[in-house]
Amino acid sequence: MEKMSLTALAREQLAGAERASSGRSAHTVYGGHEHVLRQTLIALTAGQTLDEHENPGEATLQVLHGRVRLTAGSNAWEGSTGDLIIVPDSRHALEAIETSTELLTVAKLPAP
Q: What is the pLDDT of residues 1-10, one digit of tens each?
A: 789 999 999 9
* CATH number where 27 lies: 2.60.120.10
Q: Is residue 36 in a domain?
A: yes
Question: 3-class DSSP state for residue 112?
Answer: coil
CA dist., res. 61 & res. 39, Å (int):
10
DSSP for residue 83: -
Question: Residue 32: inside a domain, yes or no?
Answer: yes
pLDDT in tens, 66-88: 999 999 999 999 999 999 999 99
Domains contained in the chain, number:
1
Over the stretch 28-71, which tens digit does the pLDDT of each residue have? 999 977 888 999 999 999 999 999 888 778 999 999 999 999 99
With respect to residue 1, please indicate whether it lies within any of the assigned structural domains: no
Average pLDDT, the chain: 92
Q: Are 96 and 51 in contact (CB under 8 A)?
A: no
Residue among 76, 104, 110 nearest 90 (CA): 76
Domain residue limits at 61: 6-108
Of 91, 77, 87, which is closest to residue 40 (Cα–Cα)?
87
Does 78 reside within a domain? yes
**Number of Cβ within a 10 Å radius of residue 57:** 16
